[in-house]
Chains A and B, each alone.
Chain A
Amino acid sequence: MAGTAVAAGAPLLDVNGVTLRYKTPGALVTATERVSFTVNRSDRFVLLGPSGCGKSTLLKAVGGYLAPSEGAITINGRRVSEPGPDRMMVFQEFDQLLPWKTVLENVTFPLIDARGFSRKEAEEKARHYIEKVNLTRVLDALPHTLSGGMKQRVAIARGMAMEPDILLMDEPFAALDALTRRTCQDELLQLWEETRFTVMFVTHSIAEAIRIGNRILLLSPHPGRVKAEVVDVDTASATDGSAGRLEKDIHDLLFAQTGEEAHG
Protein backbone atom coordinates (compact mmCIF):
# COMPACT_ATOMS: atom_id res chain seq x y z
CA MET A 1 0.00 0.00 0.00
CA ALA A 2 1.05 3.62 -0.43
CA GLY A 3 4.08 4.27 1.70
CA THR A 4 3.84 7.27 3.98
CA ALA A 5 5.70 9.08 6.69
CA VAL A 6 3.13 8.27 9.35
CA ALA A 7 4.71 6.62 12.37
CA ALA A 8 4.32 2.86 12.59
CA GLY A 9 1.49 1.90 14.89
CA ALA A 10 -0.53 5.03 14.17
CA PRO A 11 -3.93 4.13 12.78
CA LEU A 12 -4.44 4.39 9.02
CA LEU A 13 -7.89 5.91 9.29
CA ASP A 14 -9.07 8.03 12.17
CA VAL A 15 -12.72 8.93 12.49
CA ASN A 16 -13.02 11.30 15.38
CA GLY A 17 -16.34 12.47 16.87
CA VAL A 18 -18.06 12.58 13.49
CA THR A 19 -21.60 13.84 13.24
CA LEU A 20 -23.19 13.56 9.82
CA ARG A 21 -26.30 15.40 8.75
CA TYR A 22 -28.02 15.56 5.41
CA LYS A 23 -30.97 17.49 4.09
CA THR A 24 -34.10 15.91 2.78
CA PRO A 25 -36.85 18.08 1.34
CA GLY A 26 -38.27 19.40 4.58
CA ALA A 27 -35.96 18.05 7.25
CA LEU A 28 -32.37 17.95 8.43
CA VAL A 29 -31.62 14.32 9.26
CA THR A 30 -28.87 13.36 11.68
CA ALA A 31 -27.43 10.11 10.36
CA THR A 32 -24.65 9.60 12.89
CA GLU A 33 -23.81 11.38 16.13
CA ARG A 34 -20.25 11.73 17.45
CA VAL A 35 -18.98 8.45 16.07
CA SER A 36 -15.32 7.66 16.71
CA PHE A 37 -13.21 4.72 15.63
CA THR A 38 -9.86 3.96 14.07
CA VAL A 39 -8.87 1.49 11.39
CA ASN A 40 -5.39 0.01 11.29
CA ARG A 41 -3.45 -1.19 8.29
CA SER A 42 -4.63 -4.59 7.02
CA ASP A 43 -7.79 -4.44 9.10
CA ARG A 44 -10.96 -5.96 7.79
CA PHE A 45 -13.14 -3.45 9.54
CA VAL A 46 -16.88 -4.05 9.40
CA LEU A 47 -19.60 -1.50 10.14
CA LEU A 48 -22.64 -3.44 11.26
CA GLY A 49 -26.06 -2.24 12.29
CA PRO A 50 -29.73 -2.23 11.41
CA SER A 51 -31.09 0.09 8.74
CA GLY A 52 -31.07 3.70 9.83
CA CYS A 53 -27.84 3.48 11.82
CA GLY A 54 -25.99 5.59 9.28
CA LYS A 55 -23.40 2.97 8.35
CA SER A 56 -23.57 3.67 4.60
CA THR A 57 -23.56 7.41 5.25
CA LEU A 58 -20.48 6.97 7.41
CA LEU A 59 -18.74 5.03 4.66
CA LYS A 60 -19.61 7.75 2.13
CA ALA A 61 -18.17 10.35 4.49
CA VAL A 62 -14.91 8.39 4.60
CA GLY A 63 -15.15 8.26 0.81
CA GLY A 64 -15.31 12.06 0.86
CA TYR A 65 -18.80 12.44 -0.61
CA LEU A 66 -20.17 14.05 2.52
CA ALA A 67 -18.51 16.55 4.86
CA PRO A 68 -19.01 15.95 8.59
CA SER A 69 -20.83 18.76 10.36
CA GLU A 70 -18.81 17.97 13.45
CA GLY A 71 -15.57 16.04 14.00
CA ALA A 72 -12.93 15.04 11.49
CA ILE A 73 -11.90 12.15 9.31
CA THR A 74 -8.20 11.72 8.59
CA ILE A 75 -6.48 9.09 6.52
CA ASN A 76 -2.70 8.73 6.72
CA GLY A 77 -2.68 12.04 8.57
CA ARG A 78 -4.44 13.83 5.68
CA ARG A 79 -7.87 15.27 6.28
CA VAL A 80 -10.57 13.82 4.00
CA SER A 81 -12.26 16.64 2.12
CA GLU A 82 -13.30 15.20 -1.24
CA PRO A 83 -13.53 11.86 -3.07
CA GLY A 84 -10.27 10.51 -4.38
CA PRO A 85 -8.65 7.38 -5.77
CA ASP A 86 -6.78 6.73 -2.52
CA ARG A 87 -10.11 5.49 -1.16
CA MET A 88 -11.64 3.27 -3.82
CA MET A 89 -15.32 2.49 -3.38
CA VAL A 90 -17.17 -0.70 -4.23
CA PHE A 91 -20.90 -0.06 -4.29
CA GLN A 92 -23.87 -2.32 -3.82
CA GLU A 93 -25.42 -1.40 -7.15
CA PHE A 94 -24.64 -3.48 -10.21
CA ASP A 95 -24.48 -0.38 -12.42
CA GLN A 96 -21.19 0.80 -10.92
CA LEU A 97 -19.17 -0.39 -13.93
CA LEU A 98 -18.95 1.99 -16.87
CA PRO A 99 -21.23 0.25 -19.40
CA TRP A 100 -19.30 1.58 -22.42
CA LYS A 101 -16.04 -0.02 -21.34
CA THR A 102 -15.04 -3.68 -21.35
CA VAL A 103 -14.05 -5.47 -18.16
CA LEU A 104 -10.38 -4.79 -18.86
CA GLU A 105 -11.01 -1.14 -19.76
CA ASN A 106 -13.09 -0.65 -16.64
CA VAL A 107 -10.13 -1.71 -14.54
CA THR A 108 -7.47 0.15 -16.54
CA PHE A 109 -9.42 3.42 -16.87
CA PRO A 110 -8.80 4.74 -13.33
CA LEU A 111 -5.24 3.40 -13.41
CA ILE A 112 -4.48 5.45 -16.50
CA ASP A 113 -6.66 8.44 -15.71
CA ALA A 114 -6.15 8.89 -11.99
CA ARG A 115 -2.82 7.18 -11.41
CA GLY A 116 -1.05 8.15 -14.60
CA PHE A 117 0.02 4.63 -15.56
CA SER A 118 0.92 3.96 -19.19
CA ARG A 119 -1.57 1.80 -21.06
CA LYS A 120 0.79 -1.16 -21.01
CA GLU A 121 1.51 -0.98 -17.29
CA ALA A 122 -2.18 -0.47 -16.53
CA GLU A 123 -3.19 -3.49 -18.60
CA GLU A 124 -0.61 -5.65 -16.92
CA LYS A 125 -1.83 -4.65 -13.47
CA ALA A 126 -5.47 -4.99 -14.49
CA ARG A 127 -4.94 -8.48 -15.89
CA HIS A 128 -3.24 -9.50 -12.67
CA TYR A 129 -6.17 -8.45 -10.51
CA ILE A 130 -8.84 -9.68 -12.92
CA GLU A 131 -7.14 -13.07 -12.75
CA LYS A 132 -7.30 -12.91 -8.96
CA VAL A 133 -11.09 -12.62 -9.11
CA ASN A 134 -11.18 -15.43 -11.71
CA LEU A 135 -12.60 -13.37 -14.55
CA THR A 136 -9.85 -13.66 -17.14
CA ARG A 137 -12.24 -15.40 -19.53
CA VAL A 138 -14.50 -12.30 -19.72
CA LEU A 139 -11.67 -9.79 -20.09
CA ASP A 140 -13.14 -8.24 -23.24
CA ALA A 141 -16.82 -8.59 -22.36
CA LEU A 142 -19.01 -5.55 -21.80
CA PRO A 143 -20.61 -5.22 -18.35
CA HIS A 144 -24.20 -5.79 -19.54
CA THR A 145 -23.29 -9.34 -20.55
CA LEU A 146 -22.08 -10.24 -17.05
CA SER A 147 -24.04 -11.63 -14.11
CA GLY A 148 -24.48 -9.59 -10.95
CA GLY A 149 -21.80 -11.51 -9.09
CA MET A 150 -19.31 -11.06 -11.92
CA LYS A 151 -19.97 -7.31 -12.01
CA GLN A 152 -19.27 -7.04 -8.30
CA ARG A 153 -16.05 -9.01 -8.73
CA VAL A 154 -14.94 -6.70 -11.53
CA ALA A 155 -15.66 -3.75 -9.23
CA ILE A 156 -13.53 -5.37 -6.54
CA ALA A 157 -10.72 -6.00 -9.03
CA ARG A 158 -10.97 -2.38 -10.15
CA GLY A 159 -10.75 -1.16 -6.57
CA MET A 160 -7.85 -3.42 -5.68
CA ALA A 161 -5.86 -2.72 -8.84
CA MET A 162 -5.67 0.91 -7.75
CA GLU A 163 -3.96 -0.29 -4.56
CA PRO A 164 -5.74 2.33 -2.50
CA ASP A 165 -4.95 3.16 1.12
CA ILE A 166 -8.28 1.66 1.99
CA LEU A 167 -10.98 -0.18 0.05
CA LEU A 168 -14.47 0.98 0.98
CA MET A 169 -17.20 -1.59 0.36
CA ASP A 170 -20.83 -0.62 0.74
CA GLU A 171 -22.83 -3.86 1.07
CA PRO A 172 -21.25 -5.16 -2.14
CA PHE A 173 -22.84 -8.61 -1.89
CA ALA A 174 -26.26 -7.62 -0.55
CA ALA A 175 -28.00 -7.88 -3.91
CA LEU A 176 -26.53 -11.29 -4.80
CA ASP A 177 -28.17 -14.69 -4.35
CA ALA A 178 -27.03 -16.69 -1.34
CA LEU A 179 -24.70 -19.06 -3.19
CA THR A 180 -22.96 -16.33 -5.17
CA ARG A 181 -22.65 -14.21 -2.05
CA ARG A 182 -20.89 -17.06 -0.30
CA THR A 183 -18.45 -17.51 -3.18
CA CYS A 184 -17.72 -13.80 -3.32
CA GLN A 185 -17.07 -13.65 0.42
CA ASP A 186 -14.61 -16.55 0.18
CA GLU A 187 -12.89 -14.92 -2.76
CA LEU A 188 -12.53 -11.64 -0.90
CA LEU A 189 -10.97 -13.41 2.08
CA GLN A 190 -8.65 -15.32 -0.23
CA LEU A 191 -7.57 -12.01 -1.80
CA TRP A 192 -6.98 -10.54 1.62
CA GLU A 193 -4.79 -13.50 2.57
CA GLU A 194 -2.67 -12.79 -0.51
CA THR A 195 -2.32 -9.01 -0.33
CA ARG A 196 -3.39 -7.94 3.18
CA PHE A 197 -5.11 -4.82 1.95
CA THR A 198 -7.13 -2.63 4.30
CA VAL A 199 -10.86 -2.81 3.82
CA MET A 200 -13.84 -1.16 5.43
CA PHE A 201 -16.99 -3.15 4.83
CA VAL A 202 -20.59 -2.14 5.49
CA THR A 203 -23.24 -4.81 6.00
CA HIS A 204 -26.50 -5.40 7.78
CA SER A 205 -25.94 -9.15 7.99
CA ILE A 206 -24.39 -10.34 11.26
CA ALA A 207 -23.25 -13.61 9.68
CA GLU A 208 -21.49 -11.74 6.88
CA ALA A 209 -19.83 -9.39 9.36
CA ILE A 210 -18.41 -12.35 11.28
CA ARG A 211 -17.24 -14.08 8.11
CA ILE A 212 -15.56 -11.02 6.64
CA GLY A 213 -14.22 -8.98 9.51
CA ASN A 214 -11.50 -9.12 12.08
CA ARG A 215 -13.07 -6.12 13.84
CA ILE A 216 -16.75 -5.20 13.89
CA LEU A 217 -18.17 -1.87 14.92
CA LEU A 218 -21.77 -2.18 16.10
CA LEU A 219 -23.96 0.85 15.51
CA SER A 220 -27.36 1.60 16.97
CA PRO A 221 -29.94 3.50 14.92
CA HIS A 222 -31.71 6.89 15.02
CA PRO A 223 -29.26 8.53 15.12
CA GLY A 224 -26.31 6.22 14.51
CA ARG A 225 -24.08 5.85 17.54
CA VAL A 226 -21.34 3.40 18.38
CA LYS A 227 -22.76 0.70 20.59
CA ALA A 228 -19.84 -1.69 20.85
CA GLU A 229 -16.79 -2.97 19.09
CA VAL A 230 -16.07 -6.66 18.53
CA VAL A 231 -12.39 -7.51 18.24
CA ASP A 232 -10.50 -10.64 17.26
CA VAL A 233 -13.44 -11.81 15.21
CA ASP A 234 -11.05 -14.10 13.28
CA THR A 235 -10.89 -16.42 16.26
CA ALA A 236 -14.59 -17.27 16.01
CA SER A 237 -14.86 -20.43 13.97
CA ALA A 238 -17.84 -21.97 12.24
CA THR A 239 -16.72 -25.52 13.03
CA ASP A 240 -16.76 -25.40 16.83
CA GLY A 241 -19.90 -23.29 17.01
CA SER A 242 -18.18 -20.19 18.42
CA ALA A 243 -19.21 -18.16 15.34
CA GLY A 244 -22.81 -19.15 15.94
CA ARG A 245 -22.62 -18.08 19.58
CA LEU A 246 -20.98 -14.76 18.63
CA GLU A 247 -23.73 -14.20 16.06
CA LYS A 248 -26.37 -14.75 18.73
CA ASP A 249 -24.60 -12.45 21.20
CA ILE A 250 -24.34 -9.68 18.62
CA HIS A 251 -27.93 -10.19 17.62
CA ASP A 252 -29.11 -9.93 21.22
CA LEU A 253 -27.04 -6.82 21.75
CA LEU A 254 -28.35 -5.09 18.63
CA PHE A 255 -32.00 -5.97 18.98
CA ALA A 256 -32.63 -6.64 22.68
CA GLN A 257 -33.56 -3.15 23.83
CA THR A 258 -35.26 -1.96 20.70
CA GLY A 259 -37.33 -5.10 20.36
CA GLU A 260 -37.11 -4.76 16.61
CA GLU A 261 -37.49 -7.70 14.29
CA ALA A 262 -34.15 -9.13 13.28
CA HIS A 263 -33.31 -9.54 9.62
CA GLY A 264 -29.71 -10.76 10.18
Chain B
Amino acid sequence: MSKARIILRESAGEASGEVERELSFLERVWENGFVRKAALLLFLAVLWEVYGRWTNNPLLFPTLSETITALIGHIRDGSLPQRAYASIKVLLLGYGVGVIMAGALTIAAINTRLGSDFLETMTAMLSPLPAIALLPLALLWFGLGNGSLVFILIHSVLWPVALNTHSGFRAVSHTLRMVGRNYGLKGFGYIRKILIPAAFPSILAGLKIGWAFAWRTLVAAELVFGVSSGQGGLGWFIFENRNLLEIPSVFAGLLTVILIGLVVENLVFRTIERRTVLRWGLQS
Protein backbone atom coordinates (compact mmCIF):
# COMPACT_ATOMS: atom_id res chain seq x y z
CA MET B 1 0.00 0.00 0.00
CA SER B 2 1.43 3.40 -0.90
CA LYS B 3 1.60 6.31 1.57
CA ALA B 4 -1.00 9.10 1.61
CA ARG B 5 0.22 12.00 -0.50
CA ILE B 6 -0.89 15.50 -1.39
CA ILE B 7 -0.65 16.37 -5.09
CA LEU B 8 -0.79 20.09 -5.81
CA ARG B 9 -2.60 21.25 -8.96
CA GLU B 10 -0.97 23.85 -11.18
CA SER B 11 -3.18 26.93 -11.28
CA ALA B 12 -5.35 26.63 -14.37
CA GLY B 13 -4.13 29.75 -16.17
CA GLU B 14 -6.50 32.60 -16.99
CA ALA B 15 -9.96 32.24 -15.48
CA SER B 16 -12.42 32.21 -18.36
CA GLY B 17 -15.92 32.63 -16.89
CA GLU B 18 -17.17 36.08 -15.94
CA VAL B 19 -17.77 36.55 -12.23
CA GLU B 20 -19.65 39.80 -12.28
CA ARG B 21 -21.48 41.72 -15.00
CA GLU B 22 -22.86 45.20 -14.65
CA LEU B 23 -26.61 45.52 -15.13
CA SER B 24 -27.81 47.74 -17.94
CA PHE B 25 -29.13 51.22 -17.10
CA LEU B 26 -32.80 50.23 -17.47
CA GLU B 27 -32.36 47.13 -15.33
CA ARG B 28 -30.76 49.20 -12.59
CA VAL B 29 -33.52 51.83 -12.68
CA TRP B 30 -36.19 49.16 -12.45
CA GLU B 31 -34.41 47.65 -9.41
CA ASN B 32 -35.17 50.88 -7.54
CA GLY B 33 -38.41 50.43 -5.55
CA PHE B 34 -39.05 54.17 -5.59
CA VAL B 35 -39.02 54.26 -9.40
CA ARG B 36 -41.41 51.32 -9.66
CA LYS B 37 -43.84 52.87 -7.19
CA ALA B 38 -43.64 56.27 -8.88
CA ALA B 39 -44.50 54.63 -12.21
CA LEU B 40 -47.49 52.96 -10.57
CA LEU B 41 -48.67 56.26 -9.11
CA LEU B 42 -48.30 57.98 -12.46
CA PHE B 43 -50.42 55.29 -14.06
CA LEU B 44 -53.15 55.71 -11.41
CA ALA B 45 -53.06 59.50 -11.84
CA VAL B 46 -53.61 59.17 -15.57
CA LEU B 47 -56.47 56.74 -14.93
CA TRP B 48 -58.05 59.20 -12.50
CA GLU B 49 -57.77 62.12 -14.90
CA VAL B 50 -59.22 60.13 -17.78
CA TYR B 51 -62.13 58.80 -15.71
CA GLY B 52 -62.86 62.27 -14.29
CA ARG B 53 -62.99 63.80 -17.76
CA TRP B 54 -65.10 60.96 -19.06
CA THR B 55 -67.76 61.27 -16.31
CA ASN B 56 -67.54 65.05 -16.57
CA ASN B 57 -69.30 65.57 -13.24
CA PRO B 58 -67.20 67.69 -10.86
CA LEU B 59 -69.89 67.37 -8.16
CA LEU B 60 -69.35 63.60 -7.89
CA PHE B 61 -65.89 62.94 -9.19
CA PRO B 62 -63.58 65.87 -9.96
CA THR B 63 -60.59 65.30 -12.19
CA LEU B 64 -57.06 65.18 -10.86
CA SER B 65 -56.27 68.57 -12.33
CA GLU B 66 -59.27 70.20 -10.62
CA THR B 67 -58.25 68.57 -7.33
CA ILE B 68 -54.70 69.81 -7.66
CA THR B 69 -55.89 73.29 -8.55
CA ALA B 70 -58.07 73.28 -5.42
CA LEU B 71 -55.17 71.92 -3.37
CA ILE B 72 -52.80 74.62 -4.55
CA GLY B 73 -55.45 77.28 -4.02
CA HIS B 74 -56.07 76.21 -0.45
CA ILE B 75 -52.36 76.00 0.26
CA ARG B 76 -51.87 79.51 -1.19
CA ASP B 77 -54.63 81.09 0.88
CA GLY B 78 -53.25 79.37 3.94
CA SER B 79 -56.42 77.51 4.90
CA LEU B 80 -55.08 73.99 4.37
CA PRO B 81 -51.76 74.47 6.16
CA GLN B 82 -53.63 76.05 9.04
CA ARG B 83 -56.08 73.14 9.29
CA ALA B 84 -53.28 70.61 8.97
CA TYR B 85 -51.34 72.38 11.70
CA ALA B 86 -54.39 72.31 13.97
CA SER B 87 -54.80 68.57 13.41
CA ILE B 88 -51.14 67.74 13.87
CA LYS B 89 -50.88 69.78 17.05
CA VAL B 90 -53.67 67.81 18.73
CA LEU B 91 -52.35 64.60 17.27
CA LEU B 92 -48.83 65.06 18.64
CA LEU B 93 -50.20 65.90 22.06
CA GLY B 94 -52.40 62.81 22.20
CA TYR B 95 -49.71 60.61 20.67
CA GLY B 96 -47.04 61.82 23.07
CA VAL B 97 -49.16 61.35 26.16
CA GLY B 98 -50.32 57.93 24.90
CA VAL B 99 -46.76 56.74 24.27
CA ILE B 100 -45.58 57.90 27.70
CA MET B 101 -48.51 56.14 29.36
CA ALA B 102 -47.77 53.00 27.35
CA GLY B 103 -44.17 53.11 28.52
CA ALA B 104 -45.17 53.44 32.17
CA LEU B 105 -47.71 50.64 31.85
CA THR B 106 -45.20 48.31 30.18
CA ILE B 107 -42.50 48.95 32.74
CA ALA B 108 -45.02 48.11 35.47
CA ALA B 109 -45.93 45.00 33.49
CA ILE B 110 -42.40 43.61 33.19
CA ASN B 111 -41.56 44.26 36.82
CA THR B 112 -44.61 42.80 38.52
CA ARG B 113 -46.87 39.91 37.70
CA LEU B 114 -49.95 41.93 38.65
CA GLY B 115 -48.86 44.69 36.28
CA SER B 116 -48.50 42.15 33.51
CA ASP B 117 -51.96 40.73 34.24
CA PHE B 118 -53.40 44.24 34.25
CA LEU B 119 -51.83 45.10 30.90
CA GLU B 120 -52.95 41.86 29.30
CA THR B 121 -56.52 42.19 30.55
CA MET B 122 -56.82 45.84 29.60
CA THR B 123 -55.38 45.41 26.11
CA ALA B 124 -57.57 42.38 25.49
CA MET B 125 -60.65 44.34 26.55
CA LEU B 126 -59.95 47.78 25.16
CA SER B 127 -57.88 47.33 22.03
CA PRO B 128 -60.80 45.93 19.96
CA LEU B 129 -62.85 48.98 20.97
CA PRO B 130 -62.66 51.57 18.17
CA ALA B 131 -61.56 54.88 19.62
CA ILE B 132 -64.27 56.73 17.72
CA ALA B 133 -66.90 54.76 19.66
CA LEU B 134 -65.71 56.54 22.79
CA LEU B 135 -66.27 59.97 21.26
CA PRO B 136 -69.85 60.46 22.52
CA LEU B 137 -68.70 59.71 26.06
CA ALA B 138 -65.61 61.83 25.68
CA LEU B 139 -67.74 64.77 24.55
CA LEU B 140 -69.86 64.33 27.64
CA TRP B 141 -66.85 64.22 29.95
CA PHE B 142 -64.51 66.73 28.38
CA GLY B 143 -66.84 68.89 26.31
CA LEU B 144 -66.47 70.17 22.78
CA GLY B 145 -62.78 70.80 22.73
CA ASN B 146 -59.33 69.41 22.35
CA GLY B 147 -59.69 67.52 25.62
CA SER B 148 -62.08 65.04 24.03
CA LEU B 149 -59.83 64.59 21.02
CA VAL B 150 -56.77 64.01 23.16
CA PHE B 151 -58.70 61.49 25.25
CA ILE B 152 -59.68 59.32 22.30
CA LEU B 153 -56.23 59.72 20.75
CA ILE B 154 -54.65 58.38 23.93
CA HIS B 155 -57.04 55.46 23.79
CA SER B 156 -56.11 54.71 20.19
CA VAL B 157 -52.35 54.92 20.84
CA LEU B 158 -51.95 53.45 24.31
CA TRP B 159 -53.05 49.86 23.72
CA PRO B 160 -51.24 48.98 20.50
CA VAL B 161 -48.01 50.60 21.69
CA ALA B 162 -48.17 48.95 25.12
CA LEU B 163 -49.05 45.57 23.65
CA ASN B 164 -46.20 45.63 21.12
CA THR B 165 -43.64 46.95 23.60
CA HIS B 166 -44.61 44.32 26.13
CA SER B 167 -44.42 41.43 23.69
CA GLY B 168 -41.12 42.86 22.41
CA PHE B 169 -39.67 42.87 25.92
CA ARG B 170 -40.80 39.33 26.51
CA ALA B 171 -39.22 38.17 23.25
CA VAL B 172 -35.75 39.47 24.17
CA SER B 173 -33.49 36.44 24.02
CA HIS B 174 -32.50 34.70 27.19
CA THR B 175 -28.82 35.09 26.32
CA LEU B 176 -29.04 38.87 25.99
CA ARG B 177 -30.83 39.09 29.32
CA MET B 178 -28.08 37.06 30.94
CA VAL B 179 -25.43 39.27 29.32
CA GLY B 180 -27.13 42.36 30.74
CA ARG B 181 -27.26 40.88 34.23
CA ASN B 182 -23.66 39.75 33.87
CA TYR B 183 -22.73 43.44 33.59
CA GLY B 184 -24.50 44.00 36.89
CA LEU B 185 -27.31 45.99 35.24
CA LYS B 186 -30.55 46.21 37.19
CA GLY B 187 -33.84 48.07 37.28
CA PHE B 188 -34.16 51.05 34.99
CA GLY B 189 -30.61 50.80 33.65
CA TYR B 190 -31.28 47.25 32.54
CA ILE B 191 -34.50 48.30 30.82
CA ARG B 192 -32.88 51.28 29.11
CA LYS B 193 -29.61 49.69 28.06
CA ILE B 194 -30.68 46.14 27.24
CA LEU B 195 -34.43 45.64 26.96
CA ILE B 196 -35.44 48.74 25.00
CA PRO B 197 -32.80 48.45 22.25
CA ALA B 198 -33.22 44.67 22.04
CA ALA B 199 -37.00 45.02 21.72
CA PHE B 200 -36.78 48.02 19.42
CA PRO B 201 -38.21 46.30 16.31
CA SER B 202 -41.45 45.54 18.20
CA ILE B 203 -41.50 48.95 19.86
CA LEU B 204 -41.12 50.69 16.52
CA ALA B 205 -43.85 48.53 15.00
CA GLY B 206 -46.10 49.53 17.90
CA LEU B 207 -45.30 53.21 17.42
CA LYS B 208 -46.14 52.92 13.71
CA ILE B 209 -49.46 51.18 14.34
CA GLY B 210 -50.23 53.70 17.07
CA TRP B 211 -49.53 56.56 14.69
CA ALA B 212 -51.77 55.15 11.98
CA PHE B 213 -54.59 54.52 14.47
CA ALA B 214 -54.26 58.00 15.93
CA TRP B 215 -54.27 59.72 12.54
CA ARG B 216 -57.39 57.88 11.37
CA THR B 217 -59.16 58.41 14.66
CA LEU B 218 -58.40 62.11 14.64
CA VAL B 219 -59.65 62.73 11.11
CA ALA B 220 -62.81 60.71 11.85
CA ALA B 221 -63.43 62.54 15.12
CA GLU B 222 -63.00 65.92 13.43
CA LEU B 223 -65.65 64.92 10.94
CA VAL B 224 -68.11 64.46 13.80
CA PHE B 225 -67.25 67.67 15.53
CA GLY B 226 -64.53 69.86 14.17
CA VAL B 227 -64.61 73.30 15.56
CA SER B 228 -62.63 73.76 18.70
CA SER B 229 -61.58 77.18 19.79
CA GLY B 230 -62.74 78.56 16.47
CA GLN B 231 -60.39 76.48 14.34
CA GLY B 232 -61.10 73.04 12.95
CA GLY B 233 -58.71 70.43 11.69
CA LEU B 234 -58.46 68.55 8.40
CA GLY B 235 -61.51 66.40 9.09
CA TRP B 236 -63.60 69.48 9.60
CA PHE B 237 -62.17 70.99 6.43
CA ILE B 238 -63.39 67.95 4.49
CA PHE B 239 -66.80 68.03 6.13
CA GLU B 240 -67.24 71.76 5.61
CA ASN B 241 -66.39 71.61 1.93
CA ARG B 242 -68.72 68.69 1.36
CA ASN B 243 -71.52 70.82 2.82
CA LEU B 244 -70.57 73.60 0.45
CA LEU B 245 -70.46 71.04 -2.39
CA GLU B 246 -66.86 72.05 -3.07
CA ILE B 247 -66.01 68.47 -4.06
CA PRO B 248 -62.54 69.25 -5.51
CA SER B 249 -61.70 70.76 -2.13
CA VAL B 250 -62.98 67.63 -0.41
CA PHE B 251 -60.61 65.62 -2.59
CA ALA B 252 -57.82 68.08 -1.84
CA GLY B 253 -58.45 67.57 1.89
CA LEU B 254 -58.36 63.79 1.50
CA LEU B 255 -55.17 64.09 -0.51
CA THR B 256 -53.61 66.14 2.28
CA VAL B 257 -54.55 63.47 4.83
CA ILE B 258 -52.90 60.85 2.63
CA LEU B 259 -49.82 62.99 2.01
CA ILE B 260 -49.22 63.68 5.68
CA GLY B 261 -49.61 59.97 6.43
CA LEU B 262 -47.13 59.10 3.69
CA VAL B 263 -44.61 61.69 4.80
CA VAL B 264 -44.64 60.47 8.38
CA GLU B 265 -44.45 56.83 7.33
CA ASN B 266 -41.77 57.26 4.69
CA LEU B 267 -39.68 60.05 6.09
CA VAL B 268 -39.97 59.79 9.86
CA PHE B 269 -40.47 56.09 10.51
CA ARG B 270 -38.41 54.85 7.56
CA THR B 271 -35.50 57.01 8.67
CA ILE B 272 -35.68 55.71 12.23
CA GLU B 273 -35.92 52.18 10.85
CA ARG B 274 -32.91 52.62 8.58
CA ARG B 275 -30.79 54.06 11.36
CA THR B 276 -31.75 51.43 13.92
CA VAL B 277 -33.27 48.02 13.29
CA LEU B 278 -32.12 47.72 9.68
CA ARG B 279 -28.59 48.83 10.51
CA TRP B 280 -28.43 46.44 13.45
CA GLY B 281 -29.62 43.54 11.32
CA LEU B 282 -32.62 42.97 13.58
CA GLN B 283 -34.94 43.25 10.61
CA SER B 284 -34.38 42.85 6.92
Contacts and interface: CB of A to CB of B under 8 A. Distances in A.
A110 to B, nearest CB: 5
Given A84-B184, A95-B173, A113-B193, A143 B281 contact: yes
Given A142-B279, A142-B280, A113 B183 contact: yes
A61 to B, nearest CB: 13
| Residue from B189, B276, B279 with most neighbouring chain A CB atoms (10 Å) | B279
Contacts of B229: none
A89 B178 contact: yes
Contacts of A53: none
Given A142-B280, A142-B281, A143-B281, A83 B181 contact: yes
A98 B185 CA distance: 14
A100 B178 contact: no
Given A91-B175, A93-B175, A144-B281, A98 B181 contact: no
Interface majority SS (helix, strand, loop, mixed), chain B: helix
Interface string A70-111: 000000000000111101110101011011100000000110
A96 B179 contact: yes
Contacts of B280: 99-100, 142, 144
Given A93-B173, A113-B193, A63 B200 contact: no
A114 B47 CA distance: 63
Contact of B183 (A63, A91, A114, A145): A114
Given A100-B276, A142-B279, A142-B281, A95 B176 contact: yes
B182 interface: yes
B188 to A, nearest CB: 13
Nearest to B181: A83
A65 interface: yes
Contacts of A100: 197-198, 200, 276, 280, 282
B121 to A, nearest CB: 22
A83 B178 contact: yes
Contacts of A82: 181
Contacts of B281: 99, 142-145
Contacts of B183: 85, 109-110, 113-114
Interface string A130-159: 000000000000111100000000000000
A146 B183 CA distance: 23
Interface of B: 173, 175-176, 178-179, 181-185, 189, 193-194, 197-198, 200, 276, 279-282
B276 to A, nearest CB: 7
Given A82-B181, A98-B198, 7 more contacts: A83-B182, A87-B182, A93-B175, A99-B281, A113-B183, A114-B185, A144-B282
A114 B197 CA distance: 18
A91 B189 CA distance: 22
A143 B197 CA distance: 14
Contact of B182 (A85, A99, A143): A85
Contacts of A144: 280-282
B99 to A, nearest CB: 20
Contact of A63 (B175, B182, B197, B276): B182
B176 A65 contact: no
Interface in A103-131: 109-110, 113-114
**Closest 9 A-B residue pairs measured CB to CB?**
A144-B281, A83-B181, A93-B175, A99-B280, A100-B197, A110-B183, A100-B280, A114-B183, A96-B175
Contact of B184 (A65, A83, A98, A143): A83
A1 B2 CA distance: 54
